[in-house]
């Protein structure tokens, strides 16, 4: 498998602080990777750097073997979609209108939208489960519905790589399962999907590979069961993790670790 997206020795500073330090990781087409890690581990920063939104202070991100800075902003946007928590888009724009703006990388400021764009938008709305909300202004939606609307915009982009920052944060369990099913469908079509996931059992159930980020560095990487069983995960989250089998599926139990006192 060749990498569609690759970080090589990537470091990112925010102000004077080194938030991502010397991270190397690879995303192959059709691969599902969950990025896990405690709060302030640098997950969101890493995802934004992978999307080309934050410049590396060292190292580089390569898209299909080319450095992101040589791909051009529009070239990057045609290949990589980022779905991040809402930045409060204008309240009166509708779900469908916002999804349509996901076609901007393909059409630019002036070329008119075509039937191809209509199809991509309709499909993205359908898949994200917001087709019935298409004409609703964003202000009238719940947080979870807005999150699905953001996903619809990302899917309408028809990217080769889908990056998501906590896509399930506000979703009820039914919508969570639906979201990860959609991500699986997208992945099977050959899109490389990397998502920041806070819910570790969910991450382990969905992803083919976990990347554990702690203190801006990759602390562990590999098959979900192996990463969660390893000592790095317990140390990073300061919990004890125990895996059990229930109905043939792994179940994870977490216990607070007493903080070491002298």
Partner 1 sequence: MSATRRRRVLLGLALALPVAMLAAASAGSVPLPFFGVLASLLHGTGLGAGAPLPPPSETILWVVRLPRVLLAAVVGGGLAVVGATLQSVFRNPLADSGLLGVGAGAALGAVAAVRLGWAGSTFLALPFAAFAGAMAAVLVLYALSQALGGGTLHGLLLTGISVSALAAAGTSMLLVATEEFRVKTVLFWLAGGLDGRGWVHFRIASILILGGGATLLAAARVLDVLSLGDEEAAALGLPVHAARLVLLALAALVAGAATAAAGSIPFVGLVAPHALRPVAGALGRHLLPAAFLAGALLVVLADLATRVISQNVDLPLGSVTAFVGAPYFLLALRQSETRR
Task: Centre a 10 Å sphere on the Cβ of residue 55 and count the other Cβ atoms it contains.
Answer: 11
Q: Select from 28, 93, 205, 239 the one that contacts partner 1 (CB under 8 A).
A: 93
Hunting for tokens 């998502």 — which residue is that? 195
Closest approach of partner 1 to the CB of residue 1, in Å? 26
* Consecutive H or E run containing 13: strand 5-14
3-state helix, strand, coil in the chain (%, to 5): 35, 30, 35
CA 110 to chain centre: 30
Closest approach of partner 1 to the CB of residue 251, in Å? 36
Range 54-73, binding partner 1 (CB under 8 A)? 73
- Running DSSP on this structure, what letter comes out for residue 137? B
Q: Select from 49, 61, 63, 76 the one that contacts partner 1 (CB under 8 A).
A: 76
- CA-to-CA separations, 247 to 178, 204, 229, 244, 253, in angstroms, rounded: 21, 16, 19, 10, 15
Closest approach of partner 1 to the CB of residue 221, in Å? 25
**161 near 76, Cβ under 8 Å?**
no
**Pairing state of beta strands 192-196 and 209-214?**
unpaired
Nearer to partner 1 among residue 110 and residue 173 (C-beta): 110
The pair of three-digit structure tokens given for residue 218, joined into one six-digit string: 């990759």
Nearer to partner 1 among residue 53 and residue 177 (C-beta): 53
Q: Is 104 in the site for partner 1 (CB under 8 A)?
A: yes
- Running DSSP on this structure, what letter comes out for residue 2? -
Q: Is 161 in the site for partner 1 (CB under 8 A)?
A: no
Nearer to partner 1 among residue 51 and residue 214 (C-beta): 51
Nearer to partner 1 among residue 83 and residue 218 (C-beta): 83
Q: Is 53 in the site for partner 1 (CB under 8 A)?
A: yes
Nearer to partner 1 among residue 95 and residue 213 (C-beta): 95
Selection from 202, 213, 216, 211 nearest residue 27 by Cα? 211
Nearer to partner 1 among residue 87 and residue 189 (C-beta): 87
The pair of three-digit structure tokens given for residue 198, joined into one six-digit string: 């806070």
Write out the residues near partner 1 by the rule CB under 8 A. 48, 51, 53, 73-78, 80-82, 84, 87-94, 97-98, 101-102, 104-105, 107, 109-110, 135, 137, 153, 157
């Amino acid at each position: 498998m060749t990498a569609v997206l690759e970080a090589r020795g990537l470091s990112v500073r925010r102000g004077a602080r080194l938030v991502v330090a010397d991270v190397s990781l690879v995303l192959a087409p059709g691969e599902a990777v969950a990025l896990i890690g405690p709060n302030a581990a640098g997950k969101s920063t890493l995802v934004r750097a992978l999307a080309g939104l934050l410049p590396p202070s060292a190292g580089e991100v390569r898209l299909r073997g080319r450095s992101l800075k040589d791909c051009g902003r529009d070239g990057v946007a045609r290949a990589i979609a980022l779905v991040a928590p809402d930045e409060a888009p204008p309240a009166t724009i509708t779900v469908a209108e916002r999804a349509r703006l996901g076609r901007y990388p393909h059409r630019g400021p002036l070329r008119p939208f075509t039937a191809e764009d209509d199809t991509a938008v309709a499909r993205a709305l359908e898949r994200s489960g917001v087709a019935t909300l298409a004409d609703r202004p964003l202000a009238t939606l719940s947080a979870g519905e807005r999150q699905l609307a953001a996903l619809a915009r990302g899917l309408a982009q028809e990217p080769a790589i889908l990056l998501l920052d906590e896509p399930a944060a506000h979703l009820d369990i039914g919508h969570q399962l639906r979201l990860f099913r959609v991500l699986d469908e997208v992945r099977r079509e050959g899109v490389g999907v990397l998502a920041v996931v806070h819910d570790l059992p969910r991450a382990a159930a969905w992803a083919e590979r976990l990347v554990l980020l702690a203190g801006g560095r990759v602390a562990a990487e590999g098959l979900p069961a192996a990463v969660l069983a390893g000592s790095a995960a317990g140390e990073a989250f300061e919990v004890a993790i125990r895996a059990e089998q229930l109905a043939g599926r792994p179940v994870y139990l977490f216990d607070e670790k007493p903080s070491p006192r002298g």
